[in-house]
Amino acid sequence: MNPSWVTKRLAGARQAPAGHRKLSRRGFLQLTALAGGGLVVAWTSPRLLRWGMRRFVGATPSRSEPSDFIRIHPDNSVEIQVNRIDFGQGALTALPMLVAEELDIDMDQVRASLAPAGEAYKDPVYGIQMTGGSSGVPNSWMQYREIGAATRTMLVAAAAAKWQVSADSCTTSSGVVRSGPHSATYASLAADAARQPVPDKVTLRSAAQFKIIGRGQPRLDAVAASQGKKIYGLDVRLPNMKTALLMRAPRFGGRVESFDAAAALKVEGVIDVFQVPTDRGGSGVAVIAEGYWPAKEARDRVQITWQAGAGGTVSSEDLIEAYRQAAQTPVSTALKADPSPSDGAPRNLIAQYWFPYLAHAPMEPLNATFEMTDTGAKVWYGAQFQSTDQLAIAQTLNLKPEQVSLITLPAGGSFGRRATPTSDYLREGAAIVRVWGERLGRRPDPLRMMWSREDDIKGGYYRPAHLHEVKVALDEQGQILLWDHVIVGQSLSKGTPFESFIIKNGVDSTMIEGVVENIYALPMRLRVTHPDTPVPVLWLRSVGHTHTAYVVETLVDEIARAAAVDPVAWRLARWSKHSQPRHVAALELAVEQSGYGQALPDGHAWGVAVHESFDTVVAYIVDVSIADGRPKVHRVTAGVHANQVVNPTAAEAQIQGGALFGLAMTLPGFEITLKDGVVQQSQFTDYPPPRMADAPSVAVHFVPSVEPPTGLGEPGVPPIAPAMANALAQLTGKRLRRLPFDLS
């Protein structure tokens, strides 16, 4: 979720150097002795909160008893709670690595688990508990290291007091404190350490002292995942648990006019069928059954007459034409050109691009399990936005937020779909539980709410469709005189709790990221229009960069080649003049490792694209051909500048996965289209993801750095499609201005 405008604004909050770090006593560490000699370190309110993100969730849940960040067990293992969700990005390993480094333990001593919802686990920069914007490691870089360093300081102090020696004489390694003839495990010192005062300062290791950070580590959950023992939301099983499926209107915002459940109630295992409110002011019909299959069969038999919602007239081709018209009279200006626009240029390049709606389609569809208790509710699910979700569920169930206990589980993907400001699927699940309980007149049994694949693809939310129109004025030498850029597309933030922060002067910052930074220092005018289109939209992995990178990187490539300049040389020359050292380093590394410029087999071509998102620069050099009328990417070489890479093994996987995710956007059929308000796709058969045959080899190379880490979950996505398009232009002579690609 969170675009780069946030990470840039907050960059100062992460740039603190290593060495002595002053800690805030107020709300920093709370220590208690555990039965059996363990030590709990709880992090309650880090000092890095810079601005009032709390106000965007409407209300802050009351402070509850802080939960544990570190638990030292009697066997000298250390359990570390991760304040994020892990849905493939590796947070469950990377964040414990930071603690382990400063605590001075080995990774084989580490246990890791996902933290529940709680005040202690709010993001130290955003002030809400969430995972998004490739911010997990960057935002918690200092937080988790300080937790480890503070715990180590207190353990050493306990040992020094016990042995009556100076703390300076004590050393640590592998979870053991030593001084002269003395030695003691952390576990044996835990109870005494719990009584030590919180240190005013901690000393953090320098990059030269790192033993764990920067060295590839296998995922801590790899064995459980490979053995099928990892528990996801769909794996939750509770006594007497029932399953709920919801029939939603075929058009967004539609409502039930009438329904007949007689045939559905005859299905064995079906318990109840009733009407409930749904997202965006609609209504639907819920089916409660003993399991998924009876619920699905019954749902298919429910006869419903629908009232069409506001989205009943939307069709994709009409939308394209409406957006084209809107591009002629843009409403808001995000960037003014200097010099002013001029019509006297010797040459003008006019390009119009179309990017369709896209579904997130994670492998694990949306789901959540609800259990009503004496004191409130428990909810098990892949929680990406705990703070907003907790409030939404509480409001729906008529509870206080602190009465809703969220148990964070790993998720089989998300790509932004579980970070919904409206908490749509959780509100719907909670509404089913509430209405069912009212019908029963008692506390309902535990209920698992599930989405099918068809529900997921047809039910929203989507990456917004966008139209870009760019007019580039060039002089006789091919130099850019003016870059006049118009973007038309729905606002991601309008109507959400984030609106007042993200939308400024009528411009949604998520739409223009990737252009407004103007990394090529172009004489640019940037204008936007946000049509009110009744299609539910949401950020998709890498947000606005999914379309802005494509426009910028294909156009500069086209301009370079029209001027008979190698596109790599064109970029390097531009950046050398305007000081973009990280872009230069990433591109030069990719060029060096790829062999760019060397002869390729007949029918192959090189393609290049470079883009910065979430403070990370990714340069792709690709080797592309055309086979059976479809692009074939043979090799991808990535040069990546992400500052200090905490876990190179996971980081490499993130760039590889991002490249494949971005490649999907180019494949035939990978688009969401609407006809008379109805989404036409419903399954992987007509919304086809990449297959093994589509996957190229992806070699990832990182620019060495000891600066604080930047994001890695999303930056691998944006540059792959433009790199492919630039190669295909050399093979076909055709510039591709619409995704997915059509080579006919």
Q: What is the pLDDT of residues 561-571, one digit of tens each?
A: 999 999 999 99
Question: Three-state SS for 117?
Answer: coil
At residue 362, the pLDDT reads 96
**pLDDT confidence tier of residue 649, bands split at 50, 70 and 90:** very high
Whether residue 57 is predicted with pLDDT greater than 60 in this model: the reply is no
Q: How far apart are CA 575 and CA 321, in angstroms?
A: 37
DSSP for 392-448, written as a single string: HHHHHHT--GGGEEEEE---S--TTTT--TT-HHHHHHHHHHHHHHHHHTSPPPPEE
User: Token match 């180590």: residue?
Assistant: 152
Name the CA dihedral angle for 62, 407, 365, 424, rounded to a multiple of 10 degrees: -20
Q: Which residues of 598-607 are buried (b: 16+ CB within 10 A; e: fewer)?
A: eebeeebbbb
Distance CA 514, CA 551 (A): 10
- Determine the average pLDDT of the residues in 251-258: 95
Mean pLDDT of 388-401: 97
Candidate from 121-125, 270-274, 568-572 with smallest mean pLDDT = 121-125
Quick check: 118 pLDDT over 60? yes
Give the chain's radius of gyration (CA, Å).
Answer: 27
Q: What is the pLDDT of residue 4?
A: 39
Residue 209, beta-bridge partner list: none
Contact call for residues 716 and 618 (beta carbons, < 8 A)? yes
Q: What is the pLDDT of residue 40?
A: 58
Of residues 250 and 50, more confidently modeled: 250
Q: Please give the C-alpha separations between residue 263 and each of 223, 253, 272, 300, 528, in angstroms, as whole numbers.
A: 45, 26, 12, 10, 51
Find out whether 211 and 221 touch, Cβ atoms under 8 Å: no
Classify 694 as helix, strand or coil: helix
Beta bridge partners of 499: none
Our measurement of the distance from residue 548's CA atom to the centroid of its chain's CA atoms, rounded to an integer in Å, reads 18
User: Which distant-in-sequence residues (6+ apart) come within 8 Å of 40 by Cβ?
Assistant: 30, 31, 32, 34, 68, 70, 71, 194
Q: How far is the C-alpha of 713 from the C-alpha of 710, rounded, in Å?
A: 10
pLDDT tens readout for residues 135-177: 999 999 999 999 999 999 999 999 999 999 999 999 999 999 9
The phi, psi pair for 618, rounded to 5°, reads: -120, 125
Helix spans in 60-110 (H): 91-103
CA distance 103 to 174: 9
Determine how β-strand 367-372 pairs with β-strand 377-381.
antiparallel
Q: What is the pLDDT of residues 428-466, one digit of tens each?
A: 999 999 999 999 999 999 999 999 999 999 988 999 999
Q: How far apart are CA 64 and CA 701, in angstroms?
A: 44
Average pLDDT, the chain: 90
**List of residues 6+ apart from 245 with CB closer than 8 A:** 286, 287, 289, 292, 295, 296, 299, 449, 450, 452, 455
Neighbours of 272 (CB within 10 A): 20
Q: How far is CA 316 from CA 114, 311, 384, 644, 680, in A?
A: 41, 12, 30, 43, 10
For residue 678, CA distances in Å to 83, 254, 313, 488, 702 come to 39, 11, 9, 22, 44
Q: What secondary structure letter does DSSP report for 143?
A: H
* pLDDT for residue 343: 64
Listed in sequence order, the residues at least 6 apart from 500 whose beta carbon sits closer than 8 Å to its beta carbon are none
Single-letter amino acid code for the residue at 180: G
User: What is d(CA 72, CA 191) in angstroms, rounded to the nearest whole number?
Assistant: 10
- Which amino acid, one-letter code, is at 336? K
Assess whether pLDDT exceeds 80 at residue 47. no
Q: How many Cα atoms are found within 13 Å in the side-chain-facing hemisphere of 669?
A: 11
What confidence tens digit (pLDDT) does each residue in 532-579 have? 999 999 999 999 999 999 999 999 999 999 999 999 999 999 998 888
Q: Which amino acid, one-letter code, is at 315?
A: S
Q: Helix/strand/coil (H, E, C) string of 345-391? A: CCEEEEEEEEECEEECCCCCCCEEEEEECCCCEEEEECCCCHHHHHH
pTM: 0.92
Beta-bridge partner residues of 31: 41
Q: Are 71 and 34 in contact (CB under 8 A)?
A: yes
Cα–Cα distance for residue pair 473/350, rounded to 1 Å? 9
Residue 411, amino acid: A
Average pLDDT of 173-189? 97
pLDDT at 197: 84
Report all structural domains of the chain as residue ranges with CATH numbers, in order of start: 4-217 (3.30.365.10), 233-310+366-450 (3.30.365.10), 316-358+462-732 (3.30.365.10)
pLDDT at 83 over 50: yes
- pLDDT score, position 504: 93
- Helices marked H in 210-338: 222-226, 262-265, 292-301, 316-327
What are the backbone dihedrals phi and psi of residue 7, each rounded to the nearest 5 degrees, phi first?
A: -65, -35
